[in-house]
Chain A
Amino acid sequence: MVVEGLYYTKEHEWVKIDGDMAIIGITDYAQEMLGEITYVEMPKLDKEVEAGDDLAVVESSKAASDVYAPVAGRVVEVNPELETRPELINEDCYDTGWLCRMETSKNAASGLMSSSEYEEFLKGL
């Protein structure tokens, strides 16, 4: 499942951009691949990252998957629910399973895929 209006990376992160704020999560494809998610290592608050830097680690019983920052910026909020309920990512990765919020620059979406582009990308996998 791909949600319209979000931006996507080839590493299966999604970003919702609203002005200079970006909400970040992993896609349905990513959570399907990982299976039952049991642990999320969150980014530290105020951490400054460049696009492509390590942001978080999502772990299932079978794999540890790095989550890369889809945009450059500063982490201003992390999803507090995921510490005890990492399964929210499996249940609703685009909503309650969001990972963190970042303050980012303008034009953050440049270089990211639109929902239709991501859908095409998934077909090619």
Chain B
Amino acid sequence: MKKKLAVGTFVFEQAETEASQSALYEKHIALTNKSHIASFAGYLMPLWYSSISDEHNAVRQAAGMFDCTHMGVLEVTGPQAEPFLNIISTNDVSKLEPGSAQYSYIIDAAGNVLDDIIVYRREKEKFMVVVNAANEPKIKAYIKGLLAGQVIIDADNPGLKLQYKPDVRDMRDTKSGKDCRVDIALQGPASVDVVLSLLKNQKDKDAIGNLKSFKFIETTIEGIDCIISRTGYTGAKVCFEFYVHPDKAGRIWDLILSSGKKFGVLPCGLGARDSLRIEAGLPLYGHELDGAFGISPFEAGYNWAVKLQKEFFIAKSAMQNRAQNYNTEVVRIEVAGEKGVRPVRQNDAIIGTGGTCIGWVLSCAKVADKQIALVYVDRDSIKEGVAIGVYYVARNSGQVQNGKKENVGKGERVNADITGKGLSRFARF
């Protein structure tokens, strides 16, 4: 499905560039075989160190540490920072207290979701915005276009110009000096013990012990400036992210690893990052958000992060329309996944109780002896606990010759290869 872009809306074509090393690359090659390192969103990142399942289990039972230094980190400052962010993002930035963060979206005036983001309010006039690594060049170009008045902000009023011009800088750019910040995540029930063991001062320890979800503190570890937030992308109830200077990221990584050893902390790669977020039901941009189907926050299950009652924000009219008119949604399902069961993959067909295709798989992961998939299906067609089927589409030409379809269309009647059931939209751990 090709997306329609209204005339004058933001269009960005990303240049192909050679993958660069993340700030923690040296750590990765010391910890794992080079064949486990792959190019992801422009960075050479570890797929796994020990194994995806061991790392997944570490996060559920103890804690796991992730290199997230490839994530984009932008800073928005000045008296116009709040109104600017409130117009370019969908959640309500004005409700955010210093020391708090919120999940939100950047959506253009035509309604195309450009990214899902987390906005951290560090001070009244100082924000940190964390964007997906793969979307960082696009978001930077979009913001630049907005500040230069080159991007339409209201589809119904193309002449409308954005009046707020805060200071925006890239916090991973060395030009940001000592303020540079990159992300290292520590996720799982034991993560709080590890964070506490790294802090010297009782006030910080108390603050971490009492830190609520989507809150953060600013402190130092061994003199290294550090933002520690109760956020994450694994579904873990107890979860933290550290934002530190890239030159100090290696030191923080080593400290977490050494003090985390007795708590069972494992370094985790992209494989476990994906299986954990899928198990939890969290969307990945390009899969459960936007992507080939142009999935909206409403279809993804995040109505609450789009504040339609805000007086104005870019994409407001498009979102009002999408909120009322959608016939498809993201659902979490489970099928068998023990050894010897063929893995379910993206684009496999979902077969409803009527025996016909009701949608497709967006993402799937093996979790213990099950497979958990996020699927894109007709709205209200899959209920929790109700049986569904999955048809494996052909993986290669040999399977096509044996009669396997490469694609199954909505409504097409095919026999399911494997059965499973609907789950709740999200899981908490």
Contacts and interface: CB of A to CB of B under 8 A. Distances in A.
Interface residues of A, number: 22
Contact of A35 (B51, B337, B340, B399): B51
A57 B396 contact: yes
Contacts of B342: 39, 41, 59
A95 B53 CA distance: 25
A35 B53 CA distance: 10
Given A57-B396, A61-B365, A39 B35 contact: no
B36 A36 contact: no
Interface in A17-54: 29, 32-33, 35-36, 38-39, 41, 53-54
Interface in B346-366: 365-366
B35 A61 contact: no
Interface string A65-109: 010000000000000000111110000000000000000000000
B340 A38 contact: yes
A54 B271 contact: no
Contacts of A33: 35
Contacts of B53: 36
B266 interface: no
Tell me whether chain B's interface is mostly helix, strand or loop, or mixed: loop
Given A35-B52, A54-B397, A61 B366 contact: yes
Contacts of A64: 343, 345, 395-396
B275 interface: yes
Interface in B292-345: 337, 339-343, 345
B396 to A, nearest CB: 5
A62 interface: yes
Contacts of A83: 340
A60 B340 CA distance: 10
B340 A86 contact: yes
Interface string A9-20: 000000000000
Contact of A66 (B52, B340, B396): B396
A55 to B, nearest CB: 8
Nearest to A55: B398
Given A38-B341, A38-B366, A83-B340, A32 B33 contact: yes
A57 B337 CA distance: 17
Interface in B32-67: 33, 35-36, 47-48, 51-53
Contacts of B47: 35, 62
B339 A85 contact: yes
A86 B345 contact: no
Interface centre among A29, A32, A39, A62 (most CB of B within 10 A): A62
Contacts of B275: 61
Given A38-B366, A61-B275, 6 more contacts: A29-B35, A38-B343, A39-B339, A61-B343, A66-B398, A83-B340
26 contacts: A35-B47, A36-B51, A36-B53, A36-B366, A38-B337, A38-B340, A38-B341, A38-B366, A39-B339, A39-B340, A39-B341, A39-B343, A41-B342, A57-B398, A57-B399, A60-B343, A61-B52, A61-B271, A62-B47, A64-B343, A64-B345, A64-B396, A83-B340, A84-B340, A86-B339, A87-B339
The 7 A-B residue pairs with the shortest CB-CB distance in the complex, in nearest-first order: A54-B398, A61-B366, A39-B342, A64-B395, A84-B340, A32-B35, A66-B396
